[in-house]
A and B are shown apart, each in its own frame.
Chain A
């Protein structure tokens, strides 16, 4: 209950249309020339001093991208993106490669301080937080700092910017990059393959339980700059890691493009828990500005009895196009997807998951909670399929939508396909409104309309919030209330 009170207080303390992370920091940057061409791709690759194979890999992606067309099947509308009017690379001038935090531009450190992301290990250690979190901070196109690297290395865990992994662990990058999301997977993933800038690389060796939470914090700062990060996480046999991704961007009148690719691989008996709290700038209440979020996230349960779990809390972005998926290749592997997607104002969300059952006795679980307010549209799109050889595949899907007000929309589009007669797929879906009756009942007991809405929404998303690591659950709960601010009449 304290958390609900806190959320209400927090909501009251922010103005309408106030996006807390909307500040811009004036940091001198080093940019690629505007527009996209083979030269841009070569420029990025050269900036990162990449080996020839990777430059070629990027160029191949770029050439394929030229032959593709932007997908239009999602339930979202936006003006055509002019890909020649964007910057594809922007890095703070002081970079690249500060050896330690003392070399990082203090202005940058202040940015993360303002965002509440601890980058100084001693501060983290001195803090009240019991659980420590290692952070990789990505600012526009480059990683500016990664904490706890040394301590993680002792456990054999590799956690570094992917641009660094290309040099320090080329064999791993070469083996796994593009192995889950192929270069030609889809329009945005192919674009990302050509111009990806930075992101995190994680490798957990066999039998190791990662000693702390790993986290990447993405920040888009520059104007007219696309962010194309690439994350690659490999959990070797019998290992475990919990990873969290967070993101924010300044408030701007123009839309900004974010097209990331995340690839997860679990070998036998390994587990990856991937949590996202997505808080990109959503645009103002009239729909001006905001991030276009076109993201491809996929996990490959390559080994037997391995497990991948996606948990996402989506509150930001003008447009969300995102389907974190699991390929259940290993026998007895398990995929999970827990999602809270909140839309307010003019936001458009088309999000869901894919559970592809290939191995025997594979199981998956989907819990999706969509909350729409304002004049937003929120679509759940989910695919569950069983391959011919996927004997005894099991899926349970529960998909609930909650509407607040009269001018928003919720849609559920399931695709279910079983090519094996032993598959058992269950799908439950509900759509409800916060009713006048419920609100009156709560008010009659002494709660204000805001408190009542916060309480009802928190109840609605409880199943999913429970899946998030403790600290982030509290953060997410606050975010939910802030996102819904102004939606109660």
Chain B
């Protein structure tokens, strides 16, 4: 379970998150919607521990543990995963090499035995097959020359292999055509689990047709201004954010 209490965060002296509180229960899919500049991506960075953001007040707890005291890599090993809006390229490092490094680094941090090479290969092959990731993509340098759809699929593959307890999808639908969107959404849905929760950040209701949320939160000016069920997303689609943005002011 993820609990955010009265979070205030800023970057370069600029306040972005203003007293945000949010709880995501085990097994829950929570969607965050909001206009540009409402602080959605900042929230994902503050949860996952990107440097450069200063938390001036509040706390973030994952299963009771204070995430704010941990380095980004420690949070990852603890089960936090962020699917990036713009996944990074790592030239010269094959996807296989990268996956093995990450999986074993996390296992090591948790005091678990590292995967043997055959065991690792078996897992990656099986995971790749489920998501329709071709084997030759695994031998190419990570994300280098990948299409937008391939990059997003790679994020979901990483998520399935790292088995997080709390996963954030940051604008995962951006730049995807409808077929790619369906593949990615199927991949995410396959990972639904009573022990795993998701925070889905999106502009549009479209993604939520495929990844159906349990709760929908509207974010504006760095706080949650409205919470509802999945029907709230449809309401937003019809009426826009205007009503809620006004409420926050």
Which of A's residues lie within 8 Å of B, judged by CB?
1, 4-5, 435-438, 440-449, 451, 455-456, 458-463
Known contacts A444-B73, A455-B93; can you find 11 more A-B pairs with CB under 8 A?
A: A1-B101, A440-B72, A442-B90, A443-B49, A444-B49, A445-B102, A445-B106, A446-B102, A446-B105, A447-B73, A463-B92
Assess the A456–B93 pair: CB atoms within 8 A. yes
- Chain A residues near B141 (CB, 8 Å)? 459
Q: Write the B114-150 contact mask toward A (1 if CB under 8 angstroms, else 0).
A: 0000000000000000000000000001000000000
Whether B18 sits at the interface, judged by CB under 8 Å, is no
Q: Are A447's CB and B101's CB within 8 A?
A: yes
The smallest beta-carbon distance between A273 and chain B, in angstroms, is 22
Q: Are A459 and B90 in contact, with the CB atoms below 8 A?
A: yes
Judge whether B51 and A440 touch: CB under 8 Å: yes
Q: Is the CB of B101 within 8 A of A444?
A: no
For A440, list chain B residues within 8 Å (CB).
50-51, 72
Distance of A249 Cα from B50 Cα, bound (Å): 42
Q: How far is the CB of B16 from chain A (nearest CB, A)?
A: 17
B76 touches A444 (CB 8 A): yes
What chain A residues lie within 8 Å of B91 (beta carbons)? Answer: 459-460
Q: Give the dominant DSSP class at A's interface.
A: helix
Which chain B residue lies CB-closest to A435?
A: B88
Query: How near does chain B come to A51, taking the closest CB pair, in angstroms?
Result: 52
The answer to whether B93 touches A446 (Cβ under 8 A) is: no
Asked if B71 lies at the interface with its beta carbon under 8 angstroms from chain A, I say yes
**How many Å from the CB of A335 to the closest CB on chain B?**
24
- Give Cα A435 to B51, complex, Å: 12
Q: Can you report 22 A-B residue pairs in the complex whose CB atoms are below 8 A from each other?
A: A1-B97, A1-B100, A1-B101, A5-B104, A436-B52, A440-B50, A441-B87, A441-B88, A443-B73, A444-B48, A444-B72, A444-B80, A446-B76, A446-B102, A447-B101, A447-B102, A447-B105, A448-B73, A459-B90, A459-B141, A461-B92, A462-B93
Q: In whole angstroms, how far apart are the Cα atoms of A440 and B53 in the complex?
A: 13
* CB of A208 to closest CB in B, whole Å: 36
User: Which of B50, B80, B101 is close to A4, meaning CB atoms less than 8 Å apart?
Assistant: B101
For chain B, the count of residues having a C-beta within 8 Å of the partner chain is 33
A4 contacts across to B, CB distance below 8 A:
97, 101
**Also in contact, A441 and B84, with CB within 8 A (given A455-B93, A459-B141, A462-B92):** yes
Residues of chain A within 8 A (CB-CB) of B220 are none
A448 to B49, CA, bound (A): 13
Chain B stretch 42-96: residues in CB contact (< 8 A) with chain A? 48-52, 71-73, 76-77, 80-82, 84, 87-88, 90-93
Kindly state whether residue B184 has any CB partner on chain A within 8 Å. no
Flag if A438 contacts B88 (CB, 8 Å).
yes
Could you tell me if B92 and A446 are in contact, using CB atoms closer than 8 angstroms?
no
Q: A458's contact among B77, B93, B102, by CB below 8 Å, is which?
A: B93
B158 sits at the interface (CB 8 A): yes
Collect the chain B residues with CB atoms within 8 Å of residue A445's CB.
76, 98, 102, 105-106, 158, 162
What is the CB-to-nearest-CB distance from A9 to chain B, in angstroms, rounded to a whole number?
11
A461 CB contacts on chain B under 8 angstroms: 92
Specify which of A1, A436, A444 is in contact with B104 (CB 8 Å cutoff). A1
A135 to B106, CA, bound (A): 42
Complex-state Cα separation, A446 to B158, whole angstroms: 12
Task: Assess whether B106 is in contact with A444, with CB atoms less than 8 Å apart.
Answer: no
A459 lies within 8 A of B93 (CB): yes
- What are the residues of chain A within 8 A of B76 when measuring CB–CB? 443-446
Q: Does B109 reach chain A (CB closer than 8 Å)?
A: yes
Interface contact A446-B162, CB-CB below 8 Å: yes
> Which residues in A have their C-beta under 8 angstroms from that of B109?
446
Residue among B50, B91, B104 having the largest count of chain A Cβ atoms under 10 Å: B91
Chain A residues whose C-beta falls within 8 Å of the C-beta of B48 in the assembled complex:
444
